[in-house]
Chains A and B, each alone.
Chain A
Amino acid sequence: MRMIHDLVSQSLEMLLVLLLAPLLTGFVRKVKARLLQPYRDLIRLMRKDVVLADNASWLFRVIPYIIFAGTWVAASLVPTFGSGLLFSWSADLIAIIALLGSARFFLALAGMDVGTAFGGIGSSREVMIASLAEPAILITVFAVAMIAGSTQLSTIAEFMGSSAVGLRVSLGMALVALTIVAIAENGRIPVDNPATHLELTMVHEAMVLEYSGRHLALIDLSSQLKLLLYLSMIACIFMPWGAAAPEARIDAFAVGAVTYVAKLTACGLALAVFETSIAKMRVFRIPEFLGAALMLALLATLLRFVSGSL
């Protein structure tokens, strides 16, 4: 009896160590990659000295601030937990996208300033991706704006929250197109890999290779802001539930804030799952990927022209 007991416990032990070993490694990794690690990275980078390449020009030093300011302003104009932003009328959706376009224009220039091969490769690929992603998102905006009758993001959000919107094929297409563009614009897998260095397929990282210290911190922060902007935009157009109305009471804002965090968590989770389940594409497959978004967006717009209810 004792013998059997020992045998069972021994076999349990064998199983346990086998099952537990990967979990322990996973736990250690998880603890290392803390949720708040990006904050620490930013602060650390800010404190470091900047190492400038010998022939970097004044433009190279100004660009991080331009990119950061442009992205920050654009991100602040997208409604998050409430739709009544004080200055939402100063820029509509087209202007927000164009503002991001300005930031990208300067980032691509920064890649070429020092005159290295890596910077050039990054900039050249970035403008190729942008030349397809930007029309795709603009046409998506056309489709959404024609359904909502406005290009003001807060008006669109209110319209999408109302019952007038109904179930439309074109909105589904617009959502898929916008998601593809968001993946491409933020340099996520399968278009670009934000975690690599020294790889010939990289785009964003190649452009910012010569940046260091506070400049790099600002550029990193801008790309984080851009991801947040895109997710907020998708949330506020396609998941308008719970957002506080312009003159709502404080509890409505609390509800809005909680649902906003929940939406971001859901989108972030979906992005993580998507990224882990797909491999990086070759650079020249990206046009096909983005071409699909372009076609979907165009089809959505065309549907709106053909029929008011689709």
Chain B
Amino acid sequence: MIVLALVCVAVLLALSPAAIALAAQPRGSAIVYGASLALNLALCTIALIDLLDPTRPIFSLVLPIGLPWLGAHFRIDALSAFFIAVVNFGGAAASLFAIGYGRHEEEPARVLPFYPAYLAAMNIVVLADDAFTFLVAWEFMSLASWALVVSHHRDVENVRAGYVYLLMASFGTLALLLAFGVLAGSGGHYDFTAIRATPLTPLLSGAVLVLALLGAGSKAGLVPLHAWLPLAHPAAPSHVSGLMSGVMTKVAVYGFVRIVFDLLGPPEWWWSMVVLAIGGPSATLGVLYALMQRDIKRVLAYSTIENIGIIFVGLGLALAFKAEGMAWVAALAFTAALLHVLNHAAFKSLLFFGAGCVLNATGERDMERLGGLIHRMPLTAGAMLIGCVAISALPPFNGFVSEWLTFQAILLSPQLPSWGLKLIIPAVGGLLALAAALAAACFVKLYGISFLGRARNAAASKAAEVDAVSLVTLFALAAFCLVAGLLPGLFIDALAPVAKVMVGNSMPQQAGLQWLTIVPIAESRSSYNGLLLFAFVLLSGSIASIAIHRLASDRFRRAPAWDCGFPDPSPAIQYTASSFSQPIRRVFGSTIFAAREISEMPPPGSPVPARFVLDIHDPIWEALYAPIGKVIGFVTERANVLQFLTIRRYLTLVFVALIVLLVVLAL
């Protein structure tokens, strides 16, 4: 199995240089994306077979590459099997979409070579079984995605995004490097089996937790390490944006789970406090940021931060319950988090691909220049609607199921003995509920402004439906969102071995329950049946429709819009993205974003135009990133002097450095 998987990854890697040659060909991009699709599907199948076979052994393999005394260790256990399945599910969707979407790429040579390498790197991170391979693959993944982010490098914004991304990615890798350094100890055992076997003191394992949170959290986009994410994810071509948001953040989640749940040994109760205290605010702040945006891809990127927050809340709860020995609830919280990993990969890819379709059809990412696309692109609009409902955690789609399971775990937490958790968990529950409600507002805005209403510019009014391959991808993902929402029991059962390995127990088996209901704990406590609910809604809606059309009236006629008698033909009369979120901005934004609205009304008769200025600040950027940037700028400015010294001074410098080094060595 693992040999087969590694062969697939190797072929993906080999595809990378081949793509340089193929990029010049007219059919080159179709070949590269087609081959990636096939390999992704193969890897996904391998992982699924592995995950669903209850008797399977754990596969491992050592290749004689990398560090000479270490080699490269690879291993597939239940956790990596699940994440390989997610990575390649998202990868397959992106590759399929790109077969159609990639045709519009103006400079395919800037995208094609890095794309398979990026996919391969993500797979190697998940397959790696020693710190060296893991870190090399992690850095490779960062660099490949950086190259994709700056592929459209003529846009100044993209170059800036790439720069910030590169800095943050290096910072993240550094934190992980230190984490593995502490884990390996002075003995320097870098393979995971040896790391698992060596217990750490509480202080050191706490340090590893914090470093893992910094390293993996910065890649996943946890607040306050998120600043690069909304810049970099939208800058890449849309299929890569989907991969970065839907899949790469999940590889980061994998890194965190691998280190904290697996390598670090039994958790302490306060670890979960740290994770919850970061996860909850990430969820709420992420979606609040998203609400303030008007760029469609940036809204999606900020919403990724929200979803990552939800996943980390699930992981934090799992840690808390695991530490207190309540493995059966830990399994519930852990399964909820992993289910959200899968769900988010599906609907975020769908939404980014849909945004890519809009971008291709209109050339616009700014919602305030779109509008009325449901008339011009009805199929894209239909698939996007499903994505928007699913990500807003509304039944009967999949987003609701994972949030529902997380809520069920929160409801069991009064049984936790520690006081810190008793105080923080209700607050986190409140933040999660707030995030869910705000997410619905955010996606009403995204869909309502860009797809409904009237076209706001010529490009939007002349948009045409996209190609068939892109549409097939969108609808396949939409169908997945529905199926995972209707039959969540299948997915929960598939996750059972992962929870078993990571938290020591698994959720009760859902397969035998009547009507495919899911019952996380006991039937008297809570149960949910999306299938039945969907059937009820479908049935009552159809009955109402048939009855009214038969018995009452089925006629309609078209007329100009009513609008209380004052319809205005100008599309500028419609609500825009920023006016739509104005009430929410006023409620939450005035404190969090220091948002101020200044309107200048000239006196009657004055020819001066009236002006409206919206002043909005990003508190985290201003409080954290801007000062660090200033300090670095100041230091480099000063250090710049060193580049223009005379030869005499350089020689003195070298001499002094040598003396200092010798003194240090002597001491």
Which residues of A line the B interface, CB within 8 A? Answer: 43, 46-55, 57-59, 61, 65-66, 68-70, 72-73, 76, 87, 89-92, 94-95, 98-99, 101-102, 104-105, 108-109, 111-121, 123-125, 127-128, 130-135, 138-139, 142, 145-146, 149-152, 155, 197-198, 209-210, 213-214, 217-218, 283-284, 287, 294, 298, 301-302, 304-306, 308
Contact = CB atoms under 8 A, between A and B. Distances in A.
21 contacts: A49-B556, A51-B562, A55-B454, A69-B536, A90-B528, A91-B533, A92-B528, A95-B533, A99-B537, A112-B452, A113-B452, A113-B453, A123-B580, A134-B440, A138-B436, A138-B437, A139-B426, A142-B407, A146-B411, A301-B429, A306-B422
Interface stretch (B123-131, B308-316, B343-351, B517-525): B517-525
Given A131-B584, A213-B556, A115 B526 contact: no
B433 interface: yes
Majority secondary structure of chain B interface residues (helix, strand, loop or mixed): helix
A213 B537 contact: no
Contacts of A105: 389, 392, 394, 440, 443-444
B281 interface: no
A134 B393 CA distance: 12
Given A101-B394, A117-B575, A132-B587, A305 B561 contact: no
Interface residues of B, number: 88
B134 interface: no
Interface stretch (B203-211, B474-482, B489-497, B538-546): B538-546
Interface string B369-413: 001101100100100010001001111000010001001101101
A255 B625 CA distance: 66
A145 to B, nearest CB: 6
Given A73-B536, A91-B529, A120 B574 contact: yes
B532 A90 contact: yes
A51 B558 CA distance: 6
A116 B573 contact: yes
Contacts of B445: 127
A115 B538 contact: no
Q: Which 5 A-B pairs have the closest CB atoms?
A: A120-B575, A115-B453, A69-B541, A112-B448, A128-B583
A54 B560 contact: yes
Contacts of B571: 115
A23 to B, nearest CB: 36
B425 interface: yes
Interface stretch (B269-277, B547-555, B649-657): B547-555
Contact of A89 (B523, B538, B575): B523
A224 to B, nearest CB: 14
Contacts of A99: 395, 533, 537
A146 to B, nearest CB: 6
B447 A69 contact: no
A214 B552 contact: yes
Contacts of B528: 90-92, 95
Contacts of A91: 395, 528-529, 533
B506 to A, nearest CB: 22
A209 B407 CA distance: 36
B557 interface: yes
Given A99-B395, A108-B448, A49 B559 contact: no
B564 A51 contact: no
A98 B440 CA distance: 11
B440 A145 contact: no
A284 B378 CA distance: 37
A134 B437 contact: yes
A65 B587 contact: no
B423 interface: yes
Contact of A117 (B440, B545, B574): B574
Contacts of A48: 553
A57 to B, nearest CB: 5
Contacts of B24: none
A188 to B, nearest CB: 19
Contacts of B427: 298
Contacts of B371: 115
Nearest to B378: A58
Nearest to A69: B541
Nearest to B444: A108
Nearest to B431: A135
A214 B552 CA distance: 8
B553 A214 contact: yes
Contact of A73 (B414, B433, B533, B567): B533
A294 to B, nearest CB: 8
Contact of A112 (B378, B556, B575, B587): B575
Contacts of A130: 437, 440-441
Nearest to A98: B395
Contact of B552 (A46, A76, A138): A46
B533 A68 contact: no
B582 interface: yes
A54 B563 contact: no
A66 B542 CA distance: 9
Contact of A304 (B414, B524, B536, B573): B414
Nearest to B397: A102
Nearest to A73: B536
B235 interface: no
A131 B441 contact: yes
A209 B564 contact: yes
B426 A305 contact: yes
Nearest to B441: A127
Contacts of B198: none
Nearest to B401: A95
B583 A305 contact: no
Contact of B544 (A43, A65, A115): A65
Nearest to B400: A98
Contacts of A287: 587
Contacts of B452: 57, 59, 109, 112-113, 115
Given A123-B580, A125-B583, A283-B583, A109 B448 contact: yes
B606 interface: no
Contacts of B515: 90
Contacts of A59: 374, 381, 385, 452
Contacts of B532: 87, 90
A287 B585 CA distance: 12
A101 B39 CA distance: 40
B425 to A, nearest CB: 7
A214 to B, nearest CB: 5
Contacts of B395: 91, 95, 98-99, 102
B552 to A, nearest CB: 4
